[in-house]
Each structure stands twice: as structure tokens, then as C-alpha cells.
Structure 1
Amino acid sequence: MSEHVVVLTTTDSERAAADLAAAAVDARLAACAQVVGPLTSVFRWEGAVRTEPEWRVELKTAADRVEALTAHLRERHSYDVPEIIATPIAGGSADYLAWLTDETR
């Protein structure tokens, strides 16, 4: 696995997304986060297809922090089954990636 990862989650309000982002950065589980939205999500939940506005939180972190970040997000998330997906970063600016690691220590 890559040394650096982008972790994605979504939530139902801009405030909730900002809170998740700030808490993860404050805990040094992510170096930075962006809140993107509103987005339109279409999904099946409790037997029905739903269309709802959501906000995506993109958190950049070191691979060795993914497990702790996932637990952190689950603990603070309002959803019963939150989307939490980790995608390896294949490359990028060496200075940025070093900063990313430093900020998660």
C-alpha cells in the first residue's frame, strides 16, 4: 500500500462535514481536509431508493493513520453506516507528502 492516502466520507450537512474535518485535523489523524458540496447522492437505504444532498469530506493522511482515522470518523459520524473509503495516493509533490506525514505525527 502507498504511504499516503485520501480518506473520503460523506454527511448530511455542511456543518457536520466541517466538524468531522476539523476534529480529524485537530487529532492529527489527517494533515488537511476539504469539504465539497453540496452533492446529490442516490442510494438504497431501508428498502427504498433515496436522493439526498450530502457533503463530502476528503481527508489526506499517512497510511499508518487510516485505522485510527476510520475509528475516529465512525465514533463521531451521525450515519448508521457511514461511507469511509481509503484510496492510496500513487504519487505527488515530495514536499507536500512529507508535510502530510509530519502533520499526522
Structure 2
Amino acid sequence: MPAILVLTTISGLESGKKLAKTLVEERLAACVNIVPYVKSTYRWEGKVVEDDESLLVIKTDSSVKDKIIKRIKELHPYELPEIITLDVTGGLENYLNWIKDSVQQ
């Protein structure tokens, strides 16, 4: 199964660290990069809103896609969290194998 990236934004660096650590500890993710500051502009409940957030770039295996989406929804503080998955179509083979080996299947 190929690797995927899962993207989610979250308010606060500490919330992001907690989510990242949980996903790796539970072997749902091999690695999570936290981009500590992004400015998000979006429409919510009929208004344009700006928020300071952190971006999590989650590396995992597609075999756990449904499980990781479910777990992020359970842990995420937002009513409607951003959860976007992207297929990885290439990369360093040894790294991609490490992702697969690091994730519980």
C-alpha cells in the first residue's frame, strides 16, 4: 500500500503536539511535522474568519487511512476539522518503506 499525507490545522502549538504524539504513539502515523504558524482565512457560519493555527503534515500508510481520519476526528477540538489526504506518488523508497514499517497494520 502506498504512503499518504494527511493535513490538518489546529489551534495552538500545544494542541498540535498532543495530537501528533498520540498519532505516532498509537502507530497511526510514522511522523508528524508541525508547522507552528499559519494564518487561515475561511468562511464559517456565514462570516469570513481569520485564525492563527498550526499545520500538521502527517505521514502514514494508506492502509490506516480510515482509522487515522476517525482518530483525528475523536481527538480534534474543532467541530469540523480540516482533514485532507494526499496520495504520495513517489519518493525515496527506503523512506516510504520506513513509513509502512512504522505504522501498525
Q: Which amino acid aligns with 2:27?
A: R
Partners of 1:65 and 1:4 lie apart in 2 by 10
Among all aligned residue pairs of Structure 1 and Structure 2, give the percentage whose two residues are the same amino acid: 34
Structure-1 residue corresponding to 2:80: 81
Partners of 2:23 and 2:7 lie apart in 1 by 12
Structure-1 residue corresponding to 2:43: 44
Structure-2 residue corresponding to 1:62: 61
Q: Which runs of 4+ in 1 moved over 3 A?
A: none
Aligned residue for 1:78, secondary structure, equals: coil
**Number of equivalent positions:** 104
Structure-2 residue corresponding to 1:23: 22
Partners of 1:28 and 1:43 lie apart in 2 by 32
Partners of 1:70 and 1:21 lie apart in 2 by 13
Q: Which amino acid aligns with 1:61?
A: T
TM-score by length of 2: 0.96
Partners of 2:59 and 2:32 lie apart in 1 by 6
TM-score by length of 1: 0.96
| 1:18 Cα deviation after fit | 0.7
Deviations 1:48-72 (Å, cap 9, x if unpaired)?
1011101001110000111100000
Partners of 1:46 and 1:97 lie apart in 2 by 40
| 1:27 Cα deviation after fit | 0.5
| 1:101 Cα deviation after fit | 0.3
Unpaired segments ≥5 residues, structure 1: none
Structure-1 residue corresponding to 2:33: 34
Deviations 1:18-63 (Å, cap 9, x if unpaired)?
1111100000000000000211000011111011101001110000
Aligned residue for 1:42, secondary structure, equals: strand
Partners of 1:9 and 1:22 lie apart in 2 by 14
Q: Which amino acid aligns with 1:50?
A: V
